[in-house]
Structure 1
Amino acid sequence: MGPTRYMFQALVGALITGVTLVVTITQLVLSQELGSLGSQRKRMSDSMSFRGDVEDIFESVSPPEPESFLRALIDNTSEKAKAFERAVDNHSNSELEENVTQLTDDITDNANVVTDELEGKNFGEYAVVKAALDYNYNWKIYQARRIRAQYDGDFSEEQRRALLELLNILSFYGPAREYIKNLYFQWELIDLSRNIIYTTIPALVVTGSMALYLRPTMFPGTTLGIGNLVWIVSIGVTAGLLPFLLLSTYILRLATIAQHTLAIGTFILRSSDRSSEIDWE
């Protein structure tokens, strides 16, 4: 039983180290919430200022829930795109009219898919962030800016204003998504810290008991043709590894989200964010 005891001793040490790591992560997350009255007031002021800018376009009070706020933003991009399309309807430049129609179709189709994904979801669920990532606002900004650059001389004041309103609402989506993503990261890291503690304490009890008290003669006989001692050791190892499996799951999910949202604005890092349906030279 020497190797088995050494293995459980190593697991005990790793679990204690893991708890220390989790405490460090929790302190890092909580440190972002600490600050002077002035810094908290600035955070509040920046948040209200952003909402005020968005509500100038909404022409109504924006929803307080993150998922509803994203839906409202996406719905408004669709409305502004349709308003821009109506503004250039029957334009003398048929190529311009066709490109605007393609852009509008892309925005509305993507908006319908994402709003359906957000329907009935609550903040804290991965589905909310996943849906937010599915709206490739940066590609839409690029296409709208390209239309403005190519056909600016063909626009009337009304058409130019409609395009500017579309660009403004699209540009609000980027920082809103990043802020909600950051809130989700903090939410997940706090959940991770709590769940690691919940799983580590019983894991320490199991692995510590195995290291101290397990003897070859304690579990004689077999079950399903396998020695009872093998079953007990396997259960102990599984209990010891559970916190690490939980940690790996959270880190993989957060790392994947972070990789997909490294760039903000018109930088496009993934080919899947491009829409081949709207491409012209």
Structure 2
Amino acid sequence: MSGNSETASSASDAPDGPDAESDTDTADTMRERAGENRVKLWLLLRANRLVVAGVLTVAVFVAFVAVAVGLSPSLAEKVGSSDPIETLFASMITAIVTGATLVVTIGQLVLTQENGPLGDQQERMDDTLAVRGDIAELTDGPTPTDPAAFLDAILGAAAERARDLRDAVDDEGDDADGSSRDALRAEVDDLVTGLTENADAVRGQLDGAEFGSFDVVFAALNFDYGPKIGRIERITTDHDETLTDDERNRLGELKETLSLFGPAREHVKTLYFQWALIDLSRLILYAAVPALVVAGVTLTAVDAGTFPGSTLGVDHVTLVVGGAFAVSLLPFSLFVSYLLRVLTLAKRTLAIGPLVLRDSE
């Protein structure tokens, strides 16, 4: 998927006929569908957010020092003739306090979704139990409470129903038009092979994944259920006269199973968003205290004569001010690192169902 341009297409817009499958088939894993550089995708999604924030902080320090060294006159001379440190860090203190206040507001918005009268809470519980009941009926067993096992159970049921579909199609004898049955078997076999391989790979990624980390959500992204639903619809339409009632029912059951994975993934993703925003709020509040201390000390104690001398041609006062500036920006770096992941995840999961918001392969 291109970061700046995406082509929206859905299964319902695909041309009719056997050749139409090429218009909606996409790669299964999220990295393959994205078409992004591996390092870029790792930075946006997989990398530890604290590491990303640390890298941003170091980058700010290096950039500050590089620009300050390149200026003429040097920062030390500027500090001696005026007071840019006071202006800079007075503004930083205001920004840190304001940012921390906004973080508290964000945290309140997240928590607001969890608050409500007793009737609303009972309705949420009833809806949740209803969906769990559907999944329990689908998997012929109790619905897991662990998010990773919850998704795994749906994928296992989808893979099992897909194999049952292929067996049913293979066991059915040829009709008068044997070529129609051959075409049906080929399409079903291709669908089932891709679905089961994708499901088994994602189930392997979910094994041992713990909610709170990004592992569960990232694994769920690697199961591309939307195009698979679209392909089931296309097979049902293209081979309507060839399909037996049993085969048609099995296709419907497989579609139903895949359709349950969409809401389940969105539910897990929403819980992760809330979890991440709460973590972000806490980390920014933690980082705001040392950032305020550093900004305040720099404002009151650092001037042209506080750190005399230079190393490798770089004035010591430049290094100190650059380091203080980078540390003061740490709350903002944390905000950027978490927001990069949340926005990237939100963009790649905008549609629910067989709607492909990217160039199809």
TM class by shorter chain equals: over 0.9
DSSP-derived class of the 1:115 partner: helix
Looking at structure 2, the residues matched to 36 and 208 of structure 1 have their Cα atoms a distance apart, in angstroms, of 45
Partner of 1:100: 188
> In 1, are the aligned partners of 2:85 and 2:303 still within 8 Å (CA)?
no
Q: Does 1:23 align with 2:111?
A: no
1:28-177 equivalence runs, <5 A: 28-91=109-172, 92=174, 93-177=181-265
Partner of 2:314: 226
> In 2, are the aligned partners of 1:85 and 1:100 still within 8 Å (CA)?
yes
DSSP-derived class of the 1:6 partner: helix
Partner of 2:9: none
Looking at structure 2, the residues matched to 115 and 237 of structure 1 have their Cα atoms a distance apart, in angstroms, of 45
Cα offset for 1:224?
5.2
RMSD after superposition: 1.4
Looking at structure 1, the residues matched to 212 and 241 of structure 2 have their Cα atoms a distance apart, in angstroms, of 46
Cα offset for 1:31?
0.2
Q: Which has the higher contact order (CA 8 A, sep 6+)?
A: 2
Amino acid at match of 2:118: L
**Which shifted more, 111-120 or 132-141?**
111-120
Looking at structure 2, the residues matched to 64 and 153 of structure 1 have their Cα atoms a distance apart, in angstroms, of 42
In structure 1, runs of 5+ residues without a counterpart are 277-281
Looking at structure 2, the residues matched to 250 and 228 of structure 1 have their Cα atoms a distance apart, in angstroms, of 33
Q: 2:304 aligns with which of 216, 219, 230?
A: 216
Cα offset for 1:98?
0.7
Cα offset for 1:270?
2.1
Amino acid at match of 1:75: G
Post-superposition Cα deviations, 1:199-239, rounded to whole Å, max 9, x if no partner, equal: 11110111012112222222223445533222211221111
Q: Does 1:269 align with 2:269?
A: no
> In 2, are the aligned partners of 1:114 and 1:132 still within 8 Å (CA)?
yes
> In 2, are the aligned partners of 1:206 and 1:240 still within 8 Å (CA)?
yes
Cα offset for 1:157?
2.7
Looking at structure 2, the residues matched to 138 and 51 of structure 1 have their Cα atoms a distance apart, in angstroms, of 21
Amino acid at match of 2:141: S
Partner of 1:188: 276
> In 2, are the aligned partners of 1:90 and 1:97 still within 8 Å (CA)?
no
Cα offset for 1:160?
2.0
Cα offset for 1:173?
0.5
Amino acid at match of 2:130: S
Amino acid at match of 1:203: A
Looking at structure 2, the residues matched to 17 and 174 of structure 1 have their Cα atoms a distance apart, in angstroms, of 38
Amino acid at match of 2:242: D
Looking at structure 2, the residues matched to 247 and 123 of structure 1 have their Cα atoms a distance apart, in angstroms, of 21
Q: 2:336 aligns with which of 244, 248, 251?
A: 248
Partner of 1:279: none
Cα offset for 1:247?
0.5
DSSP-derived class of the 2:319 partner: helix
Amino acid at match of 2:139: F
Amino acid at match of 1:180: V
Cα offset for 1:17?
1.4
Cα offset for 1:154?
2.2
Q: Does 1:199 align with 2:280?
A: no
**Which shifted more, 150-159 or 139-148?**
150-159
Looking at structure 2, the residues matched to 54 and 128 of structure 1 have their Cα atoms a distance apart, in angstroms, of 19
Looking at structure 1, the residues matched to 207 and 87 of structure 2 have their Cα atoms a distance apart, in angstroms, of 52
Amino acid at match of 1:57: L
Cα offset for 1:141?
0.3
**Which shifted more, 178-187 or 86-95?**
86-95
Cα offset for 1:95?
0.6
Looking at structure 1, the residues matched to 316 and 251 of structure 2 have their Cα atoms a distance apart, in angstroms, of 72
Looking at structure 1, the residues matched to 240 and 148 of structure 2 have their Cα atoms a distance apart, in angstroms, of 35
Looking at structure 1, the residues matched to 240 and 117 of structure 2 have their Cα atoms a distance apart, in angstroms, of 48
**Which shifted more, 181-190 or 72-81?**
72-81
Structure 2 length normalisation: TM-score?
Answer: 0.73
Amino acid at match of 2:137: D
